[in-house]
Amino acid sequence: MATRKSTAKPNVSKDELLHFYREMLLIRRFEEKAGQLYGMGLIGGFCHLYIGQEAVVVGLEAAADEGDKRVTSYRDHGHMLASGMDPKGVMAELTGREGGYSKGKGGSMHMFSREKHFYGGHGIVAAQVPIGAGLAFADKYLGNDRVTFTYFGDGAANQGQVAETYNMAELWDLPVVFVIENNQYAMGTSVKRATKSPDFWERGAAYGIEGEAVDGMDVLAVKAAGEKAVAHCRAGKGPYILEVMTYRYRGHSMSDPAKYRTRDEVQKMREERDAIEHVRQLLLTGKHATEDELKGVDKQIKDIVNEAAEFAKESPEPDVGELWTDIYAEAIPQGEAI
Amino acid sequence: MATEVLMPALSPTMEEGTLAKWLVREGDTVSSGDILAEIETDKATMEFEAVDEGIVGKILISEGTEGVKVNTPIAILVEEGEDAADAEVDTAQSQQPVPKEKRQNSEDQSASGMAHPAPASPGAARDLSPDWPADAEMKTMTVREALRDAMAEEMRSDENVFIMGEEVAEYQGAYKITQGLLDEFGARRVIDTPITEHGFAGLGVGAAFGGLRPIVEFMTFNFAMQAMDQIVNSAAKTLYMSGGQMGCPIVFRGPNGAAARVGAQHSQDYAAWYSQIPGLKVAMPYSAADAKGLLKSAIRDPNPVIFLENEILYGRSFDVPQVDDLTVPFGKARIWREGSDVTLVSFGIGMTYALEAAEALAKDGIEAEVIDLRTLRPMDTATVIESVKKTNRCVTVEEGFPQGSVGNYISSVLMQEAFDWLDAPVINCAGKDVPMPYAANLEKLALVTAKEVIEAAHAVTYR
């Protein structure tokens, strides 16, 4: 990845920078806490942390309007927090408790929020890609001018259903932004061991889809690219691909020993390219905030995360009767489209 | 305030591990993300990172120690100026093991949980009402026309219903089920797709999440194998995984089972496969009236429905009642013929063999009761049980493979619910346990036949 470009971005306000700092820090602290709770046995199964990739979803959320939809894979905690979902409900789902977004029945990989237009949380690699196009199809059918952000990783980008979806999305001019979060490893397989066509965004050209690669460690660059992509979709020009170059600091899941990359590689990214540190420096050098003020933000975030963890520990396990609910609906839960 | 660092669980199954190596020493300052130690699990050696900032005050478990239980304190982090020896440990911040009673909560109560009936379980109240008024005017029509009318009626009444699939629009349907729909509803609602089953099945699921009511036609259900993940993992399970927040009102429909002379890859009956999945509803009609009434119900259903048609039945004609808004409820079998000597249970094209057999058996003086299940999930086992309590014998008929068949399930239900009424073992007549051959003579042998049903009925009635 190229070294960081000039950090001078004159048109960024203090409020926006502080918002980015706060949102990204919330995700990082939340994920660190989730890792901790996993280590304590409070979170079970698979748990995929988003640490390192925070600028991707925070930058793109800044480009979204009310009513825009988002759908992603199983590495989904960051997307949920950035879409405004309650950290308490997310953490309680991780611990499998009644207070979780899915009443404890979904877990880390399967959460949804109708209110925040978050359509999951999908556990099968790339399954969310045609689903995202389908959400966009519904919006186009209903003529409501909304855009769907469909997130997937560099691993999913090699799945056949992604190619199938590109073809249909462009054929029908669907308002969908395909966001490829290229964190450079599909579980333990580096991009270069998985494909000889490593510039994933360029694959859209085969279907007539425009796109570009973006520095995913720079939240301002991500937001700017997101705005461009969204404008493309809203103008009725069909889908757009953003390949966001990012990096995950932790293993694929909690049980990943991460022997496929060196400690130095991870450390170098953390020290030189960290997205949160980037915004922190912009705030300090631009004299938008003092060290003390940022410490205050850190404290607020820590409190939110601790509160979420406490809630997630205290919330009871779901009632045993929940075993037999939500298998069939009596009416469509999300309501009929009008 | 000091913080205990506990032995972490580094995999879903880890209970203990070896503290292989410390990468920090007492007195070192650590910050979040720094690697503290290497820990060997049963699967791998993992690096263990710090979550909190602080100074390593004391190492409690020395490196090389084996069998360290998860959640054992392995070190103490202190703040600047604190001494580990007299530091007060903040138990609220430290990593407490899960209280045992909380972990075992669900196990303790599982017995009562398991007693809850499954959605389509036996014992459900039987619906004995007629599907339409006895004096309804009847019109002869084919299954093909009935299916088309059902979709057209539902598309007229609900703007959010649309159909997509291969050749459904301009070609008027590979089997002409969508004939005329493009002309009436236009290209916005009758959509030709590329040949991309996995993709358009998933796209349909997304459209259903987004508030529409898609009908997805598979040219045949053989090709839906490519879309199985989206049908099962996305459509069927999301309501449950979302705690009831997100439903998937979608119909996947198309011809299922053997046609004629199309070989192994185009001749499979998936009834038993789909009927196994909680979250799906499954219909497999035989008559034109049921095809129409069930498809209209399926399109209105808030759940994903698998609607299994049959190419050979498409051209068959039946009487269809001319009533406004003909619907047939799911989970309600139809008794085609009453009898007291043996119960024949079937569905879909299997009904042709069952009814033919019943005719022949009547000539031999054996009165068969013939039940058409119509829907396999929910399944009206109550009607089957009631019938067997009268006839004391049962033969099931289907074209699908014999192992793990619908008939196998019915046999098991009868053993559990009507064992004392059975005077003979239940016999399952099914397709043979072979891929469908192409040669005409072999294909005939591979399919279930009326003759086999007749023989089975004689066997269970001992005459």
Residues of chain B contacting A334 with CB distance shorter than 8 Å: 209, 211, 245-247
Q: What is the pLDDT of residue B90?
A: 53
Q: What is the pLDDT of residue A10?
A: 52
Residues of chain B contacting A134 with CB distance shorter than 8 Å: 202-210
* Residues forming a β-bridge with A181: A153, A244
Whether A112 sits inside 8 A of B238 (CB atoms) is: yes
DSSP class of A30 = H
Task: Check if A325 contacts B (Cβ < 8 Å).
Answer: yes
Alpha-carbon radius of gyration of chain A: 19
pLDDT in tens, A119-148: 999 999 999 999 999 999 999 999 999 999
Task: Check if B287 contacts A (Cβ < 8 Å).
Answer: no
DSSP alpha helices (H): ranges in B178-217?
Answer: 181-185, 197-209
- Is a pLDDT exceeding 90 seen at residue A3? no
Q: What is the pLDDT of residue B85?
A: 63
Interface test with chain B among A71, A117, A122, A131, by most B beta carbons within 10 Å = A131
Active site residues of B: 197, 266
Average of per-residue pLDDT across A282-295: 96
Q: What is the mean pLDDT of chain A?
A: 94
Q: In Å, what is the CA distance from B390 to each residue of A83, B270, B355, B386?
A: 60, 31, 19, 7
Report which secondary-structure segment, H or E, holds B452: helix B450-461
Q: What is the pLDDT of residue B114?
A: 43
Name which of B41, B105, B209 is nearest A135 (Cβ-Cβ).
Answer: B209
Residues of chain B contacting A166 with CB distance shorter than 8 Å: none
Q: Which residue positions in chain B have pLDDT lower than 50?
A: 92-118, 120-123
Q: Which residue of B has its CA nearest to A174?
A: B203
Secondary structure (3-state) at B358: helix
Task: Check if B256 contacts A (Cβ < 8 Å).
Answer: no
Whether B206 sits inside 8 A of A324 (CB atoms) is: no
Whether A164 sits inside 8 A of B200 (CB atoms) is: yes
- Is a pLDDT exceeding 70 seen at residue A217? yes
Euclidean distance between CA atoms B370 and B338, whole angstroms: 7
Interface test with chain B among A115, A161, A261, A305, by most B beta carbons within 10 Å = A161
Chain B segment 89-148 residues within 8 A of A by beta carbon are 95-98, 102, 105-106, 109-110, 112-113, 116, 118-119
Residues of chain A contacting B188 with CB distance shorter than 8 Å: 141
Q: Quote ipTM for the complex.
A: 0.95
Amino acid at A124: I
Chain A segment 177-236 residues within 8 A of B by beta carbon are none
DSSP alpha helices (H): ranges in A184-335?
Answer: 191-194, 219-234, 263-273, 275-285, 291-314
pLDDT in tens, A14-63: 999 999 999 999 999 999 999 999 999 999 999 999 999 999 999 999 99
Residues of chain A contacting B303 with CB distance shorter than 8 Å: 328-329
Euclidean distance between CA atoms B375 and B347, whole angstroms: 8
Residues of chain B contacting A161 with CB distance shorter than 8 Å: 198-199, 202
DSSP alpha helices (H): ranges in B260-403?
Answer: 271-274, 288-300, 311-314, 350-363, 381-391
Task: Check if B348 contacts A (Cβ < 8 Å).
Answer: no
Task: Check if B249 contacts A (Cβ < 8 Å).
Answer: yes
Interface test with chain A among B40, B116, B242, B276, by most A beta carbons within 10 Å = B242
Residues of chain B contacting A124 with CB distance shorter than 8 Å: 229, 233-234
Q: What is the pLDDT of residue B84?
A: 65
CB atoms under 10 Å from CB of A168, counted, come to 24
Name which of B32, B44, B209 is nearest A134 (Cβ-Cβ).
Answer: B209
Q: How is residue B141 written in tokens? A: 């029509």
Euclidean distance between CA atoms A278 and A272, whole angstroms: 9
Secondary structure (3-state) at A82: helix
Q: What is the pLDDT of residue B42?
A: 74
Q: Which residue of A has its CA nearest to B92?
A: A310
Closest CA to A158 of A208, A124, A200: A200
Task: Check if A167 contacts B (Cβ < 8 Å).
Answer: yes
Residues of chain A contacting B208 with CB distance shorter than 8 Å: 134
Chain B segment 16-55 residues within 8 A of A by beta carbon are 32-33, 35, 41, 43-47, 49, 51
Task: Check if B241 contacts A (Cβ < 8 Å).
Answer: yes
| Spatial CB neighbours of A271, under 8 Å, sequence gap ≥ 6 | none
Report which secondary-structure segment, H or E, holds B36: strand B35-40
Report which secondary-structure segment, H or E, holds B443: helix B440-446
Q: What is the pLDDT of residue B177?
A: 97
> Who wins on pLDDT, A217 or B113?
A217
Distance from CA of B10 to the nearest CA of A (A): 5
Closest CA to B411 of B120, B367, B422: B422
A5 pLDDT band, cuts 50/70/90, is very low
Q: What is the pLDDT of residue B50?
A: 83
Report which secondary-structure segment, H or E, holds B108: helix B100-114
- Is a pLDDT exceeding 80 seen at residue A328? yes
Interface test with chain A among B5, B245, B251, B379, by most A beta carbons within 10 Å = B245
Q: Which residue of A has its CA nearest to B191?
A: A172
Euclidean distance between CA atoms A97 and A90, whole angstroms: 10
pTM across the whole model: 0.90
